[in-house]
Structure 1
């Protein structure tokens, strides 16, 4: 947990305080929604629906009624804001509007560092501090960019048979900068 998602964690731990016992959590892919939901389910015994925007109104409505009937909190996850869910049932629309809404914003530097370290630790690798400091000043701050850079650095490290160091970070970031320049032409 970092400052980037501290408010979300606080609300997930205080689910007893949720309006209508429902929280709608939105944020970009890779921002940790699913991992937070798993921890929430284990701690609260509540119900979760991942990619809620992709479900039919009636499915969400039945889950809402089930959660209320069983006196359990309900966590709805989506990469889309509720305004883009295309909800047609008036009763569901009003219930969702009255629920607590939280959005996971862009990652802060501590989150970016942690995500890189986690990505490489899973592969039995590390990323050097100078590589992290280089990237922090130059990369786009998004969960998608962290994932793309990590994958590119991993591929470059395998190709060159070298650890994830400053040279690998520069090469990986240069790859994305070159792509950006191609798009602008």
Structure 2
């Protein structure tokens, strides 16, 4: 049987939606969501928000940033010269503080001190507990370990199904519930993975000029999971 003709598709990215209405709450993230919603009635000015990649940390931090009027900066961008300017903000998000590449620990420690002096609210994100961030500066490590911390766990199956449905709707894709059920049972419990799979299905459906069925979804997922060989 000949292969289904494929059309050339433009791989146009769909920007993730980071509005409050786009954040789906479930058992894995409800504590973190409640903590963010409680601002400014926090017991401390600093909140460390942790969770694995694709768990929704950046989304939740973006919700808080919009609510608090906070700029967002990557931890790798916090350099000594930038600290006085960053500390002038009434609120600030520092993303990916767990990543050692480009991280200036002295500048981060100085920023935390200045922020505390000036009453700046901080949300600091990172994957996993602070103890696993590989921070070499004892004072910075101690300051972060003492800060209130809330974690996001991988989504449970119900939340993952809801996220898949929303991702399909966001792309204006109509799929049968059997497609959502099949994917929810087979993909990693990661919101980032769900986004990647739905994007791949969108491309595949367009290329084949076919609606997304369960067989097409399973075939696409299998292709995504195939190990890629080394380039010659």
TM-score by length of 1: 0.81
* 1:102-150 per-position Cα deviation (integer Å, ceiling 9, x unaligned): 2221112333233323433343323321211222233332334323322
SS of equivalent residue, structure 1 residue 53: coil
Larger deviation: 116-125 or 164-173?
A: 116-125
1:97/1:136 CA distance change after superposition, 3 Å? same
What is the CA–CA distance in structure 1 between the aligned matches of 2:155 and 2:123, rounded to whole Å? Answer: 21
- Counterpart of 2:169 in structure 1 is 121
- Counterpart of 1:36 in structure 2 is 60
Q: How many residues align?
A: 180
Larger deviation: 98-107 or 41-50?
A: 41-50
- Counterpart of 1:11 in structure 2 is 35
- Counterpart of 2:150 in structure 1 is 102
1:9/1:141 CA distance change after superposition, 3 Å? same
Contact 1:53-1:78 within 8 A present in 2 as well? yes
- Counterpart of 2:186 in structure 1 is 138
- Counterpart of 2:217 in structure 1 is 169
- Counterpart of 1:84 in structure 2 is 132
What is the CA–CA distance in structure 2 between the aligned matches of 1:59 and 1:111, rounded to whole Å? Answer: 38
1:108/1:62 CA distance change after superposition, 3 Å? same
* CA displacement at 1:166 relative to structure 2: 1.8
- Counterpart of 1:49 in structure 2 is 94
Gaps of 5+ in 1: none
What is the CA–CA distance in structure 2 between the aligned matches of 1:8 and 1:125, rounded to whole Å? Answer: 30
- Counterpart of 1:26 in structure 2 is 50
Gaps of 5+ in 2: 1-24, 70-90
SS of equivalent residue, structure 1 residue 76: strand
Higher share of residues assigned helix? 1
What is the CA–CA distance in structure 2 between the aligned matches of 1:83 and 1:18, rounded to whole Å? Answer: 23
What is the CA–CA distance in structure 2 between the aligned matches of 1:38 and 1:63, rounded to whole Å? Answer: 20
What is the CA–CA distance in structure 2 between the aligned matches of 1:166 and 1:124, rounded to whole Å? Answer: 17
1:19/1:94 CA distance change after superposition, 3 Å? farther
Contact 1:34-1:50 within 8 A present in 2 as well? yes
What is the CA–CA distance in structure 1 between the aligned matches of 2:203 and 2:192, rounded to whole Å? Answer: 17
What is the CA–CA distance in structure 1 between the aligned matches of 2:176 and 2:111, rounded to whole Å? Answer: 46
1:112/1:64 CA distance change after superposition, 3 Å? same
Q: Give the greater-gyration-radius structure (CA).
A: 2
